[in-house]
């Protein structure tokens, strides 16, 4: 980072004298040989003073909540006006199983839905595909066609509840199914609200549930921006995600930088299509990880808002303040949870959730204590939800806005992370953008290096993980949610029934129209809607698109 | 004669794309002086077994986080037997509930390393159990 040496010589001098004469001497007498670094390896000083904030300007760097550059939050009221949405990511087994869990969560005070699909759906194959063997209903809910989606949301009024769907390569198809379910409920697409993750770049970078090559994938995403702006105006057509980048091993700054650079890439592609910035930018949303290092995470969220506001206003010339807002969902860090003494995970989650709240999140998922083993049990997910409710209603942290704003440490850290992230962003600009950087393997390599660094630090006990490399003890196994193979049998039976009973001619016609539209480079959303309404399956639709777009093969490196 | 290195095939069966663990293990084994071949993501049991034979692997390491191990692990062991390659030991890591461990070991997985295992322990296990070129074929 660049040192900011200009004014405040008195404090700087006094600080240096204090450090030399008092601190260093006293420290020498302590048995504290540890390196004071964050979970990302960032060095943290012993003390922060105004000397670390030379040149800091209240209005330029901080300003009021709801005022550019939104460092303190995008809304003037923040959590006083409205608490964050408590949105637990959830899905398992059949659509019936998950529908029951949703009703349970809503009945216990959850305020929004978040759908976890099983891996075959994420990969755009049906439950009867050979690659789906052993996977049906395991990591999420099995959705093969509109028939499953109708069950998933039965009894849940889509004009009342907002839904986030974690779906990427086939996002446009699942979104079409959701819109179709809403129409069947008599709810207009104009009033439904929610989010599709729809962020393919981080799939190539980190989570790896890609299907098509990057360029046609980007085309499909821009189709959703364009269609959403016209037809589903309250829908967030993308959730630009740092979560998975972090989980794959990125440092906090890498998460921040790669995610925002992904955002820049999506905006650039939207503009290329001829979309008007202020028409689609307000529907872009973000999704970050909240990891263990409390202050570094809070600084990351604040820096993210500040950088994005500047990017949108200065780089892209957006005029509408809503286009400058970085609205974000947060999930606590899955990878930070440990299998050993799993009840301790409740504490980790609480600390991470607190960081997200203090960082000004709009919605939050708290992980369950048993997620290093399996999808969460009902008891475990209840504790996770209660953790948020305790933060919201007992801790008092929402009483004032951006309570850590003005802390020498937090402001210095926010500035430092901003500078470092911008330097990464410039580097990727110089490569020709994120699609190009991915083709060159740049972010993938940076993340793999960080992941390996961290593992070595844990192996060497430079980083302590309680219960793993220190304070170990035996623990009793905990009760887990089990998905048995009966789920696969039920799902395959429904898939067979759907394929038998649907209007076959319409399926054929809509699928062939879709392929033609893909070849002609039309916006595919209207065609996808027709396919799903005819009960064409996800696998059939994706196979048709694979014929046109091809499939992505990742270069194998480690 | 130059000393032959232990050859390890690290494979990712299942549909999940979580390759952080697999890649960290690849690097740790390489740094410990082994030859490492990584299959990449979403390999079927057939692909994994044929890669292991083709690469003359001394050991197969499976990494899976999707929950499909009860189906996929026994299938890999069965295919190894069918191809006469049951002398290639198989170890595994990832998200594997403790109650499944006995069943997986009975099916023929030699060792299962759970989250939190030090890479040093995995290296030690391999050095203690695998002799270079010990296979009969």
- Its ipTM equals 0.91
Contacts of B116 in chain A (CB under 8 A): 338-340, 465, 467-469
> Tens of pLDDT along A241-281?
999 999 999 999 999 999 999 999 999 999 999 999 999 99
pLDDT at A33: 64
Q: Are A373 and A342 in contact (CB under 8 A)?
A: yes
Torsion of CA A433, A306, A168, A258, to 10 degrees: 40
Which of B22, B97, B116 lies closest to A374 in CB terms?
Answer: B97
Torsion of CA B102, B108, B111, B115, to 10 degrees: -60
Contact A477 B98 (CB under 8 A): yes
User: CA-to-CA distance for A206 and B78, rounded, in angstroms?
Assistant: 32
pLDDT at A7: 54
- For residue B133, the distance in angstroms to the closest alpha carbon of chain A comes to 24
Ordered strands of the A328-332 beta sheet: A85-86, A363-365, A328-332, A284-290, A238-241
Q: What is the mean pLDDT of residues A95-105?
A: 94
Q: Report CA torsion sign: A358, A263, A425, A59.
A: negative
Contacts of A554 in chain B (CB under 8 A): 40-41
**Residues 6+ positions from A364 with CB-CB distance below 8 Å:** A84, A85, A86, A87, A329, A330, A331, A332, A353, A356, A357, A388
> Tens of pLDDT along A503-519?
999 999 999 999 999 99
Contact A134 B68 (CB under 8 A): yes
User: CA-to-CA distance for B67 and B56, rounded, in angstroms?
Assistant: 28
- For residue A33, the distance in angstroms to the closest alpha carbon of chain B comes to 23
Contacts of B19 in chain A (CB under 8 A): 208, 248
Tokens of A404: 């850590």
pLDDT at A114: 92
A139 and B CB contact within 8 Å: yes
**Strand B90-94, strand B111-113: pairing:** parallel
Contacts of A468 in chain B (CB under 8 A): 116
Name the interface residues of B facing A (CB cutoff 8 Å).
10, 14-20, 22-24, 26-28, 36, 38-42, 44, 66-72, 95, 97-99, 114-116, 118-120
Q: Are A403 and A357 in contact (CB under 8 A)?
A: no
Region of poorest pLDDT, from A155-159, A329-333, A478-482: A478-482
Q: Are B48 and B13 in contact (CB under 8 A)?
A: yes
- From chain A residues 298-337, the ones with a CB under 8 A of any chain B CB are 335
- The DSSP H or E segment spanning A239 is strand A238-241
User: CA-to-CA distance for B48 and B26, rounded, in angstroms?
Assistant: 16
Does residue A331 have a pLDDT over 60? Answer: yes
pLDDT band at residue A31 under the 50/70/90 scheme: confident
How is domain A75-402+411-459 classified at the CATH fold level?
TIM Barrel (3.20.20)
> Tens of pLDDT along A333-383?
999 999 999 999 999 999 999 999 999 999 999 999 999 988 899 999 999
Q: Are A507 and A139 in contact (CB under 8 A)?
A: no
Please count the helices (runs of H) and the strands (runs of E) in chain B.
5, 5
Please enumerate, as own/partner, the contacts of A462-466 that have beta carbons within 8 Å and a separation of 24 or more: A462/A35, A463/A39, A465/A338, A465/B116, A466/A338, A466/A341, A466/A344
User: CA-to-CA distance for A134 and A492, rounded, in angstroms?
Assistant: 12
- What is the interface size between A and B, counted as CB pairs within 8 Å? 105
Please, which residues bridge with residue A141 across strands? A93, A117
**Residues 6+ positions from B54 with CB-CB distance below 8 Å:** none
Q: Which residues of chain B have pLDDT under 70?
A: 1-2, 132-137
Mean pLDDT, all residues of chain A: 95
User: CA-to-CA distance for A189 and A201, rounded, in angstroms?
Assistant: 27
Q: Report CA torsion sign: B94, B95, B101, B107.
A: negative
> Tens of pLDDT along A231-243?
999 999 999 999 9
Q: Are A363 and A86 in contact (CB under 8 A)?
A: yes
Contacts of A372 in chain B (CB under 8 A): 95, 115
- For residue A39, the distance in angstroms to the closest alpha carbon of chain B comes to 16
Contact A123 B15 (CB under 8 A): yes
Best mutation target among A138, A368, A475, A489 (most B Cβ atoms within 10 Å) is A138
* A370: closest chain B residue by CA: B97
User: CA-to-CA distance for A398 and A405, rounded, in angstroms?
Assistant: 14
> Tens of pLDDT along A278-309?
999 999 999 999 999 999 999 999 999 999 99
* A119: closest chain B residue by CA: B15
Q: What is the mean pLDDT of residues A48-57?
A: 95
pLDDT band at residue A483 under the 50/70/90 scheme: confident
Walk me through the domains of chain B, giving residue ranges and CATH numbers. Answer: 7-129 (3.40.50.280)
Best mutation target among A117, A124, A134, A377 (most B Cβ atoms within 10 Å) is A134
* pTM of the entire predicted model: 0.94
Which of B41, B72, B120 lies closest to A134 in CB terms?
Answer: B72
A478 and B CB contact within 8 Å: no
How would you class A394 by CB atoms within 10 Å of its CB: exposed for 0-12, middle for 13-18, buried for 19 or more?
exposed
pLDDT at A5: 54
Tokens of A77: 């009221």
Contacts of A467 in chain B (CB under 8 A): 116
Contacts of A208 in chain B (CB under 8 A): 17-19, 41
Opening angle at CA A438, ends A437 and A444, nearest 5: 110
Eight-state DSSP code of residue A376: P
Contact A451 B70 (CB under 8 A): no
Contact B41 A554 (CB under 8 A): yes
Tokens of A155: 């009894």
pLDDT band at residue A2 under the 50/70/90 scheme: low
Q: Are A346 and A386 in contact (CB under 8 A)?
A: no
Contacts of A448 in chain B (CB under 8 A): 23, 27
Tokens of A413: 């850290």
Which of B15, B118, B119 lies closest to A131 in CB terms?
Answer: B15
- From chain A residues 199-258, the ones with a CB under 8 A of any chain B CB are 203, 207-209, 247-249
At what angle are helices A504-519 and A538-549 packed, to 10 degrees? 30
Closest to A96 (Cα-Cα) out of A538, A366, A486: A486
- For residue B92, the distance in angstroms to the closest alpha carbon of chain A comes to 15
């Amino acid at each position: 980072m660049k040192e900011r040496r200009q004014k405040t010589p008195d404090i700087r001098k006094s600080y240096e004298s204090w450090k030399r004469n008092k601190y260093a001497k006293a420290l020498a007498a302590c048995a504290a040989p540890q390196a004071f670094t964050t979970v990302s390896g960032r060095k943290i000083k012993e003390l922060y003073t105004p000397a670390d904030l030379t040149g800091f300007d209240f209005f330029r760097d901080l300003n009021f909540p709801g005022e550019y550059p939104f460092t303190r939050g995008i809304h003037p009221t923040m959590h006083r006006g409205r608490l964050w949405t408590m949105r637990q990511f959830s899905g398992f087994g059949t659509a019936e199983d998950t529908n029951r869990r949703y009703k349970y969560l809503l009945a216990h005070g959850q305020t929004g839905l978040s759908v976890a699909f099983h891996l075959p759906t994420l990969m755009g194959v049906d439950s009867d595909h050979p690659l789906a063997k052993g996977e049906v209903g395991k990591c999420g809910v099995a959705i093969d066609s509109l028939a499953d989606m109708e069950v998933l949301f039965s009894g849940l009024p889509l004009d009342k509840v907002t839904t986030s769907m974690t779906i990427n390569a086939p996002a446009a198809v699942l979104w079409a199914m959701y819109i179709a379910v809403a129409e069947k409920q008599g709810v207009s697409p104009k009033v439904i609200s929610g989010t599709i993750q729809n962020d393919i770049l981080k799939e190539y970078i980190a989570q790896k549930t890609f299907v098509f090559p990057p360029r046609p994938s980007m085309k499909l995403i821009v189709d959703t921006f364009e269609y959403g702006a016209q037809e589903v105006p309250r829908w967030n057509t993308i959730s630009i995600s740092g979560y998975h980048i972090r989980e794959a091993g990125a440092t906090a700054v890498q998460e921040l930088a790669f995610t925002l650079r992904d955002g820049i890439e999506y905006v650039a592609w939207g503009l290329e299509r001829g979309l008007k910035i202020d028409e689609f930018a307000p529907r872009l949303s973000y999704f970050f990880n909240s990891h263990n290092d409390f202050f570094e995470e809070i600084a990351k969220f604040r820096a993210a808002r500040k950088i994005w506001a500047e990017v949108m206003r200065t780089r892209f010339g957006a005029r509408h303040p809503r286009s400058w807002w970085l609205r974000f969902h947060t999930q606590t860090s899955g990878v930070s949870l440990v299998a050993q003494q799993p009840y301790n995970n409740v504490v980790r989650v609480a600390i991470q959730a607190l960081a997200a709240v203090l960082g000004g999140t709009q919605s939050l998922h708290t992980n369950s204590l048993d997620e290093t083993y399996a999808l969460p049990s009902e008891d475990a997910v209840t504790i996770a939800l209660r953790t948020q409710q305790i933060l919201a209603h007992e801790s008092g942290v929402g009483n004032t806005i951006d309570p850590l704003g003005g802390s020498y440490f937090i402001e210095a850290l926010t500035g430092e992370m901003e500078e470092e992230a911008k330097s990464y962003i410039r580097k990727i600009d110089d490569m020709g953008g994120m699609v190009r950087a991915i083709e060159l393997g740049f972010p993938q390599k940076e993340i793999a290096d960080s992941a390996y660094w961290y593992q070595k630090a844990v192996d060497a006990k430079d980083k302590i993980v309680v219960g793993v490399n220190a304070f170990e003890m035996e623990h009793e196994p905990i009760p887990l949610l089990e998905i048995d193979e009966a789920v696969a049998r039920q799902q395959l039976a429904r898939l067979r029934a759907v394929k038998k009973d649907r209007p076959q001619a319409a399926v054929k016609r809509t699928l062939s129209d879709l392929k033609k539209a893909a070849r002609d480079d039309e916006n595919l959303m209207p065609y996808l809607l027709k396919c799903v309404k005819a009960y064409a399956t996800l696998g059939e639709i994706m196979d048709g698109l694979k014929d046109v777009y091809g499939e992505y093969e990742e270069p194998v490196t480690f | 004669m130059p000393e032959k290195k232990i050859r390890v095939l690290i494979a990712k069966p299942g549909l999940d794309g979580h390759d952080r663990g697999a890649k960290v293990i690849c690097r740790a084994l390489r740094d410990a002086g082994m030859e490492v071949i990584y299959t990449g993501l979403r390999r079927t049991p057939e692909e994994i077994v044929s890669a292991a034979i083709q690469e003359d692997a001394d050991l197969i390491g499976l990494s899976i986080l999707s929950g499909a191990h009860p189906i996929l692990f026994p299938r890999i062991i069965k295919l190894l037997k069918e191809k006469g390659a049951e002398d290639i030991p198989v170890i595994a890591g990832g998200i594997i509930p403790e109650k499944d461990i006995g069943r997986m070991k009975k099916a023929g997985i030699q060792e299962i390393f759970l989250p939190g295992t030090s890479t040093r322990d995995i290296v030690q296990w391999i050095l203690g159990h695998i002799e270079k070129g010990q296979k009969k074929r």
